[in-house]
Each structure stands twice: as C-alpha cells, then as structure tokens.
Structure 1
Amino acid sequence: MSNIGSKFKLEEPKQTRVKKFANAFGSFYRQNFAYRIYWGRSSLYRSFIHFSIISITVLITLGGISSRLTANSNRSNTIVADSITSGNIDLLEQGGSVQSILLATTTSNFEIERYTVREGDTYASIADAFGVTPESIKLSNANTISYYDATPPVGKQIRIPELNGVLIDINEGDTLDKIMNYITAGNRLDIIEINNLKEPEYALTPGSVILVPDGLFPPPPPPTPSIIYSAPPPPAPIPAPSEAVFQGVQFVDPLSNCPGYGYSRGFSSWHNGVDLPKSGGCPIRASAAGTVEFAGWSSGGEGFMVRIDHGNGVKTLYFHGDGQMWVTPGQQVYAGQDIMYMGCTGFCTGTHLHFSMKYNGVWINPAPYVPYARPY
C-alpha cells in the first residue's frame, strides 16, 4: 500500500502539466509579444493586426485543429516553435520545451540591434529604418559617440533599441532608484517588466544593459570650446582711415586690415549691432583704445567675444570669433590693435563680425561714430 501511495505522489496529473505549460506559454507571450505591441506601437503593431486577420482565417478553415492537438498531447508534452527569440534565448535551439519557455521568461524582453553607419546615413534615416526616434539612438550611444554631432560617424557601430526608449549601461552600485532619479521620462513599472527585474530588490547587474521604454535622460553637457591664446599676426600698416569721435573717444574701422569685407545687416530695434562678413575671416581690431573687460566664450549666442571699455560710459563688443584670442581681461589696448580672429561661433550664420556699441549700458547705433564699410 505504501508503494502505491509513493507512486501516486510522484506522478503528475495531465491537467497539471497542461496548466503549467499554458501558464508558461502565457507568460512568454505576454513578455515577448504583448509588451512589444504596447511599447513598439509602430511596425510591430501593424504586423500584429495583419497576423491576427490571417490567424482568424486559418482557424476557421482548420476547424478540427483542437481535436488533433488534444490527440497529439497524448503522444508528447513538448511543442516545437518555428522560431521564437526572447532576450538571448533562442527557443528553437532549446527545443521549444516548457523548460525553455520558463527560462526565457527570466531574461530581458527586448533585443538590441547593432548597425554600422554608412556614408549618407543620418540619425533620422537610421531611426526611420528601425522604427525608433533619433533621440533614442543618440541617447543609447551617448557613451561612445558625441550627442552633439549633426550626423553619426561613418564606420561606427551603434546599438539601436528594439523599442522607443534608451539603453543604459549598468555600473557597480547602480540601483533602480538611482536610474529613476537620473531619467527625465520613463515609468518604473515598465522598466521592471521589460527588464524582468525581480522582487524585492529589483537588483541590477553591473555590466548589463537595461531598456527604459519611452525613456529620456539628460544629454551630456556640450563640450566647452577651447580658447587658443597665441601671438597676434605681424601688424600690418594701418591706412589713415577717416575717424569719428564720440564722448571723447576716437574710433577706427575694426576691420581696417580686412580688405574686401562686406556689410550684411545694420542696427535696428531687434538687432543690436552691425554684421560685417568676410569669407575665410580676418583679424579683428580694437575700434578704439581702452581696457579689455572680457575675452572668451559667451553662452548667450555671442560665441567667442571681446568687450572693451573705452571710458566715459562707452563700450564696444565684438562677437563670433573663431577662438584665437590675442588679448586677455584687464589688458590695455590701442586703437587698431588685433584682438581676435573672425569666425562663426555661437548663434551665427556665415563667418562675420557682429560689432556692437553701448553707451551707459544702452545699445546704440555705431554707424555715426565708427568708420566701417557702408552698403552705399
């Protein structure tokens, strides 16, 4: 009698095996297919609609499939899939068994594409091809490429998340709470589900990669432009320009050593100076003697700039240098002294000098006082 009892305990009813398989397959379907529909919401969603229509047609045609599957269950408790991939687990290679489905449900529910950038590719074209946003690609590769590059580097292999969102490399000491404090968009429950993080700690493995669906995080700070201090070019003879005087300050042309420069825009209520372009640039000179108040990078759109105090409330400002600075704050300069080289930094279109003038803190039109080239 005891042997019969032992045998009874070791045997598993067919209903239990079927139930376990159904639960396992349902979990696999939810994590590897349903999630992709929800988070993808693009090509996968359309494919699912088409697949559903075809499936309904097939099921109607094959009305006897249910009875055949029941009969087959008496011969085998293993279902072989054509090709199902979850994380790094290929269920076809695993034999498509219940055990392989259970194993797959413990892996991440997303895939990472890797793509080598080719000539002519843009972030937009790559994003469109893979059904994600350019921001997803840029942020997912922020550790290996510059976020601020206009185009991806040719020949560089980049990684692309399967769904809109960002890939984050996990380092020692990273936790889910730290990730949540770091990102600016993304849902905690979505992160837990798609990455199969386990309760109660939701531990993250150093060296692994997680996906934050529909997530964003702050881009890295832009590179700080370097200032190149160098010796000014040999002084060229300054022609005797016409000079003007304002508040006791005598002015010369700031581009007196820049033959062929032009005039593109003047002073107005919405433009606080004059734009003097020159292809390839040229040295910019102090328009009058004074003390250098500022020489360096300005983040307000001016780019590399110099500001000179000429006394009596008069100041001149020179914007959009290329980074070659020949003066430093506190330095005394004379009229016509080279101060920096023309460029197109900051908010700028085309190489030019934006020249401005202030009197007692108010922008004024320099045209009556500074003898630069006129359009007439």
Structure 2
Amino acid sequence: MAASYIQEEHEIFRESLRKFLEKEAYPNYDKWEEDRLIPREFWRKMGVQGFLCPDIEGKYGGSDVDWGFSVVINEELERVGSGMVGIGLHNDIVVPYITGYGTEEQKERWLPKCAAGEIITAIAMTEPGAGSDLAGIRTTARLEGDHYIVNGEKTFITNGIHSDLIIIACKTDSHAVPRHKGVSLLAIERGTKGFTRGRKLNKVGLHCQDTAELIFEDCKVPKENLIGEEGKGFLYLMEKLQQERLVVAITAQVASEEMLKLTLDYVKNREAFGKPISQFQNTQFKIAEMATDIEMGRSFLDQLITEHMAGKDVVTKVSMAKWKLTESARKIAAECMQLHGGYGYMEEYEIARRYRDIPVASIYAGTNEIMKTIIAKNLGL
C-alpha cells in the first residue's frame, strides 16, 4: 500500500523520473564509478527535467510542490546507486539553508541556477579535528570592512569537487560563551580568492560521489554572503539536520529493499546440491528475517515522512530512524553478500558495491552513537 503522502501526481512524477534514469543514469553508472565522478552534464539534464529542487518556489525556478516529490527523487536515485547521494544533499540539505534563511537577493542570485543544475552546492561542517562536535570547529571568519576573511580547512565534503557554492560553518566569534553562539554560516562561491580544493578523497565506497578537502587561506568573502544572522549558524544547523538525517534514513531503507530484491533473484536461480538455494531452510529464514525488518522499517519511515511534511517536531524519531535503518542496512548488506556466496565478493555483482557503499550511512549526518545520545537525552535520561 502506498504511503499516505503519495498521491497520483507523485506516481506520475516517479514514472517520469524512472524513464529518465533508465536512459541517463543506469547505463552510465558503472562508468561513473570507474571515473570516480558523476559528470556535470547529468546534473544539467536533471535540472532541465525539473528533478532538482522541485519544492522551491516557481519564481526561483522550482515547481513549488510538496516534499513528497523530493522523497520520490531520493528513493529513485538510491535505486540507481548510493553514489547519487550528492544530488539529494544539493536538493534537500544545502538549498534549504538558502530558502530558509537567505535574503531575497541571495535567493534570486543562486536558487534559479541551483534548480537548473548550473550551480552545484555543498555544505562544509566537518574539519580534520572536528566532526560531531560542531561547536568545536576552528575555521574562522573575521569581518574586515565589507568582507569576511576566512581561514581554515574542511574535509569529507560531499560534492567537494563539483561544488560552485559552499555553505561553510565558521567561527565569527571565537570567544563566545557558550561556544556554539560564535558559529555562523557563510556562502563561498567558486573562484573566490583564497579558496582552493585539496584532495579528492579515495573512499572505500560511494566511488562516483566526489568527496574532497576544502582549504581557505585569507579567503575574502563579501559580507552579503552571510546566511541568516551572525552567531546563529549552530541553531540553523540543528534545525536543518532533522531533514538531512531523514534523507539518510530514506536512502538506507531503499538500499535495504534493493539488496533484498537482488538476493531474492539470486537465491531462486542459484543451485546447490541439485536444487535452488532458496529451498534451504537457512536461506528461507535469513530472507524472512530481512523482509520483516525491511517491512517494519518502511512502515515507521513512511509515518515519519508524513509527520515531517506536516511540520511536526520529529527530532527524536528521526534520530531513531537514522540509527536503526542505517544499522539494519549494514546487517542486510552482510547477510545478502553471504547468501551470494563467492559471487557476492565479485565486482560484477551489484551486491558487492552495495556492501561497500552502505556502511558510511551510519557515520555521516551525525554518527549513530550521536543519534543514541540524542534519543536518550530527549527521553529525559
């Protein structure tokens, strides 16, 4: 049964997106993995078809539709492969900072190009010495006249190579008490003097997704590029992390569904001892366990999406979903690879790629240990 937030128009949109991806993504994905990059041309094609930032207002180049359309996009991109995660980050994690806290001038300057695929965005929080502790970042932004002078480094930045507009978390007041009140958000554009890219990072998985280091050395950023108010960056990050973690939960759930589908097909066709391995009780029990976990995860996730779209505070449930669904996906990846036997360890079988790609979902957007800390705190512990 379809989720309550899915209407006929969402399914028409999904069918259109699937046809697009069958033509433009599926046949090219293995090549993108080899190249360690999704070409910018694919982004532009996504924009032309209306598959980027569909929920922003029409006057800024969007379709002004509900967030259910973004859910559909994230689901279908994950079915292609987890390396497509940078598009979801652009649509549903970075651009919302501009729509939510940006000035009218900023929206008019950046949003139409974001929707068209002409601007690719990134968000830079993590540093070599600061990950989960965002209040402890060391990148500084000192206001001098009509510019901020930015110094620092960021790492593990999704879309780090392609990005044309990066929203960075920085310290505009290093002496603020408590520390988080000194954090602000600045938008830094490609070509800004003092901004360079470091290495494109060589990851275990997500090979086609460009992840990089960013370096700022006396980087001169116009003060008009401040997102929202100075000193409120940490608050903005906390407000938007709810949707970011929900996107991660969605992709983990879909990855689990896809891995089970792959494995069902395999065990029905692979024979051992004169019969399909799907007829062995161990195989049946493993499949039954995974199918049950996936079905329960889907029910919880769909209800959570509905509540999020209704504007409810679902921080605790989002933390639960992000933790549980990514952890479940890791276990399912291991079980599915085992059921593939030796072939599961071969690169020509998709399960091998899924097995590589899924573990990082329990790390980014806040580690699962942080998710448990949030849950415990919100339960009054």
User: TM-score if structure 1 supplies the norm length?
Assistant: 0.20
Structure of higher CA gyration radius: 1
User: TM-score if structure 2 supplies the norm length?
Assistant: 0.20
More strand by share: 1
